[in-house]
Amino acid sequence: MHELSLAMSLLEVCEEEATRIGVKKIKTLIVEVGELSGVSVPALDSAFGIASRGTVAEGAALSIRNMPGTGWCLSCERAVRIQDPFRSCPDCGGSRILPTGGMEFCLKEFVCD
């Protein structure tokens, strides 16, 4: 379950930053998760609840911003919305699509007490 290691990485960043700025409690983490990232949001949420025990983020809410999958079709030369980078272009049926968005996994901010 790689979501557990992702949750632990998020918490490591939060712990370091909370220590640096003197925060004792984090209420919410805001995370961007791309549609093409391969991250299971329910698994991440569950893993976060387990991994955050005993940390400054224990009991914190995980607020997920779902980022859409986007790509550039080399055949029709258009930006397209994609849910799978290995499928054909939804506009022209071409098979040469370069993913341009939706692969992110990023802690955007956290909200403190």
| CATH number assigned to the domain comprising residue 55 | 3.30.2320.50
Q: Please tell me the predicted confidence (pLDDT) of residue 1.
A: 53
Residue 86 lies in a domain: no
For the chain, the domain total comes to: 1
CB atoms within 10 A of CB 82: 24
Max CA separation in the chain (angstroms): 54
Q: Please tell me the predicted confidence (pLDDT) of residue 85.
A: 82
Instruction: Tell me how many degrees the CA angle 41-37-111 measures, rounded to the nearest 5.
Output: 55
DSSP state of 14: H
Q: Please tell me the predicted confidence (pLDDT) of residue 86.
A: 87
Q: Please tell me the predicted confidence (pLDDT) of residue 50.
A: 95
Question: 100 phi and psi, to 5 degrees?
Answer: -120, -10
pLDDT tens by residue, the chain, 113 residues:
599 999 999 999 999 999 999 999 999 999 999 999 999 999 999 999 999 999 999 999 999 999 999 999 999 999 999 998 888 999 999 999 999 999 999 999 999 87
Residue span of the structural domain in which 106 resides: 2-68+102-112
